[in-house]
Amino acid sequence: MTSYRPIEEGVATDLRGELTYASYLRLDELLSAQQPVSDHHDEMLFIVQHQVTELWLKQLIHELRSAIALLGADDGAPALKRLARVKAIQKQMFEQWSVLETLTPVEYLQFRDQLGRASGFQSPQYRTVEFLLGNKNPAMIEVFAHDDALHDQLAADLAGPSLYDAFLAHLARQGHDVPADVLERDFSQPYEAHPGVVEVFRRVYAAPDEFWEAYETCEELVDVEEGFQLWRFRHLKTVERIIGHKRGTGGSSGVGFLRRALDLTFFPELLEVRTEL
């Protein structure tokens, strides 16, 4: 056994003028983005946790936009690959909460007031993910009225088809009897469950061999919804553990606000059809 390992012959060591690991990833910018507003040791964890979450949200958006486009082009197989990656990202985001849970209530209170009214509720990427998955609420974009570019992008995502809208349109083009009023609805408004869509899914689930791609996509969407709900629940329990039932920094009721989000569903008929089978 030895504690010394020489550099292998052939490993590049003279990197002057080269694209390096640090320059490719812009580590100088990335690692200088953590700017605590207090001198408390644990604020660094709070910042890193949320910045990492924002990076994963960026990747989720990248995958969801691609999945929507692929379904719009009736290219189902790579869309399923995108959803598989979405699920893997969701697992990473879920497990992250265990790190933040090492922050005790007393530790958080020592820098919480320094955050002002800044809140995760104000995350434009989180709102984008919810819009892309189908939780449409026009009032939500009012939070971003102070930033024209963000407001316009969110307004576009609000008005565009969600992942579920794209899937239902894809099913219609494949010959499934998706109701016309579902396909032609105002995408900026919250989706309302339709018995005709339940019937479409009942037929798919009754004959998986005949409708295998649709059947598999349905189950992938159920997985994505469950993963998102588990993330929401873990968020709620982390907040409850750290601040109890205090109001959120952004003015929400805190735990109560997060608990009500658990009643929201992205793909209602995919749950309803289970009762009909």
* Residues with Cβ within 8 Å of residue 126, at least 6 apart in sequence: 57, 120
What residue numbers does the annotated binding site for heme cover? 235
H or E segment to which residue 255 belongs: helix 255-261
Could you give phi then psi for residue 157, rounded to 5 degrees? -70, -35
Contact residues for 132 (Cβ-Cβ < 8 A; gap 6+)? 61, 64, 65, 68, 157, 162, 163
Cα distances (angstroms) measured from residue 257 to each of 74, 108, 116, 134: 38, 20, 19, 19
Instruction: Determine the residue type at 26.
Output: R
* Angstrom distance (rounded) from CA 259 to CA 228: 13
Binding-site annotation: residue ranges: 46-50, 108, 112, 235, 249
Is 107:49 a contact under the CB 8 Å cutoff? no
CA of residue 269 relative to chain centroid, distance: 21
How many Å from the N-terminal Cα to the C-terminal Cα in the chain? 62
The dihedral of CA 240, 243, 248, 252: what is its sign?
A: positive
CA 193 to chain centre: 22
Please calculate the CA angle 198-201-202 and round it to the nearest 5 degrees.
Answer: 85
Binding residues for substrate: 46-50, 108, 112, 249
